Amino acid sequence: MPTALFACPIFSPAAVQMIEAAASLPDVRLGVVAQQPLSALPAPLAARLAGHWQVRDVTDARQLADAVQGLQRQLGGIDRLFGAFEQLQVPLAEVREQFGIPGMPAAVARRFRDKALMKETLRAASVPVARHQLVTRDEQAWAFVREVGFPVVAKPPAGAGARNTERLEDSAALEHLLREQHPGPQHPVLLEEFLSGREHSLETVSIGGRAVWHSITHYDPTPLEVLEHPWIQWSVVLPREVDDARYGDIRAVGDAALQALGMDTGVSHCEWFRRADGTLAISEIAARPPGAQITTMISRAHDIDFVKAWTELQIHGTFAIPTRKYAVGCAYLRGQGRGVVTALEGLDVVARDVGALVTDYRLPTPGQTPTGSYEGEGFIILRHPDTDVVVRALRRVISTLRVRLG
């Protein structure tokens, strides 16, 4: 019976779902490392855990190692150590190496986590990727924009989820960024060429260094555009025709990218662009399950629990290939105006027109504070065997529902 440890900062709804999934696997002893006490978990779930260790900062490799050592004394040998939080991937890998626990090595985790190193690795392997420059001196930034032209995108080298990402349209914007951030060796800024076109994601399951399953989504519009325009309600479509020939190039490029980065066994989330001329370029890849409800969308497209499938992959190294049954879409509900949520308008129309397609939802509530993210204040997930039906239904949702702030 393997003993596995799951690490997370807090017991968020997503983390609780992952703990529940791992705890439900037969013949697995599960321990948890977190910054919250065990009492923060629902009592029935807490009672199913073999152990718990609280730390101040779960992303600190030293504290994480202390937790593993403490739980080893309680539980015996630790067979697996894993987590889904982006900022945890490198410390988890470092601690696995320290204790001889199988899993992704630290060098590989750094190639996925450090966006500049990732792009250097992919470019060296002839994988099409956005041009970039890791800026530690102002003159590097100016030399880069002379090469690629404006606009460019500025982001932290180890960012996640488009946080602190911005588009720089001209010299004045770049001057402001350099003046505000003062890039240097200890706090570099990553500049990338601005990729125009349709943005997508590619999710892949790999076992033993070989991609065994994939999924694809379409973003409408890009997350960066959504952050730049607060009135836009973002949507994502997961088409049923995932094996269509039109996706053959990204499947091949995605496989080459994972090989170059050193993926062995795990789930990856790759964001990529299809330019107007049909060529593609990878933006970045994360060695974790996708966020933004895409994991739920994958579950609904196949009538499986993809979270549970991920935990089984992490603990046992196995994955049952599912059958794609549906197209799925998600509309993200963003507040219009300023202040807190005051009303949700148009719900009766949406319920009448597309209610039969809804599988999951979280609606904004009065008094709720806006998140400021592209995911907004709630979501509605739809599914149907026909992709076009899902696309039309999503348009109906985002054109009808209005989250009022005040």
Specify whether 90 is located in the same domain as 162: no
Interatomic CA distance for residues 186 and 248, integer angstroms: 40
> Is residue 111 assigned to a domain?
no
Specify whether 144 is located in the same domain as 204: no
Interatomic CA distance for residues 114 and 137, integer angstroms: 19
Q: If we measure between CA atoms, which residue out of 94, 248, 116, 109 comes closest to residue 190?
A: 116
Specify whether 227 is located in the same domain as 172: no
326, HSE (Cβ side, Cα atoms, 13 Å) = 21
Predicted confidence at residue 163, as pLDDT, reads 54
> Is residue 109 assigned to a domain?
no
Specify whether 305 is located in the same domain as 368: yes
CB 250 within 8 A of CB 397: no
Predicted confidence at residue 364, as pLDDT, reads 93
Q: Where does a domain end: 145, 177, 193?
A: 193
Q: Where does a domain end: 84, 103, 122?
A: 103
Specify whether 323 is located in the same domain as 248: yes
Specify whether 304 is located in the same domain as 365: yes
Specify whether 164 is located in the same domain as 296: no
Coil/strand/helix, residue 211: strand
Domain extent, residue 217, equals: 198-405
> Is residue 174 assigned to a domain?
yes
> Is residue 113 assigned to a domain?
no
Interatomic CA distance for residues 254 and 257, integer angstroms: 5
Coil/strand/helix, residue 393: helix
Amino acid in the structure at residue 283: S
Specify whether 304 is located in the same domain as 393: yes
Interatomic CA distance for residues 190 and 192, integer angstroms: 7
Q: Where does a domain end: 193, 210, 242?
A: 193
Quick one: CA dihedral 387, 389, 390, 395, positive or negative?
positive
> Is residue 376 assigned to a domain?
yes
The enclosing domain of 36 has a CATH number of 3.40.50.20
Interatomic CA distance for residues 79 and 96, integer angstroms: 10
Interatomic CA distance for residues 92 and 78, integer angstroms: 13
Question: Which CA distances in Å does 9 have to 150, 179, 227?
Answer: 38, 33, 25
Specify whether 355 is located in the same domain as 211: yes
Interatomic CA distance for residues 230 and 213, integer angstroms: 35
The pTM (predicted TM-score) of the whole model is 0.89
Specify whether 237 is located in the same domain as 270: yes
Specify whether 219 is located in the same domain as 282: yes
> Is residue 122 assigned to a domain?
no
Interatomic CA distance for residues 394 and 18, integer angstroms: 28
The enclosing domain of 285 has a CATH number of 3.30.470.20
Specify whether 360 is located in the same domain as 217: yes
Torsions phi, psi for 358 (to 5 deg)? -75, 130
> Is residue 125 assigned to a domain?
no
Q: Tell me the two tokens of residue 224.
A: 């960066």
Measured N-to-C along each axis, helices 115-124 and 248-261 cross at an angle, to the nearest 10 degrees, of: 110
> Is residue 115 assigned to a domain?
no
**What pLDDT tens digit does each residue of the chain (406 aa) get?**
899 999 999 999 999 999 999 999 999 999 999 999 999 999 999 999 999 999 999 999 999 999 999 999 999 899 999 999 999 999 999 999 999 999 999 999 999 999 889 999 999 999 999 888 889 999 899 999 999 898 888 887 765 544 567 889 889 999 898 988 888 888 888 898 888 789 999 999 999 999 999 999 999 877 777 666 666 788 999 999 999 999 999 999 999 999 999 999 999 999 999 988 999 999 899 999 999 999 999 999 999 999 999 999 999 999 999 999 999 999 999 887 789 999 999 999 999 999 999 999 999 999 999 888 878 899 999 999 999 999 999 999 989 999 999 8
364, HSE (Cβ side, Cα atoms, 13 Å) = 29
Beta bridge partners of 305: none
Predicted confidence at residue 158, as pLDDT, reads 61
Please count the structural domains in the chain. 3
Q: If we measure between CA atoms, which residue out of 376, 289, 288 comes closest to residue 330?
A: 376
The enclosing domain of 163 has a CATH number of 3.30.1490.20
CB 279 within 8 A of CB 205: no
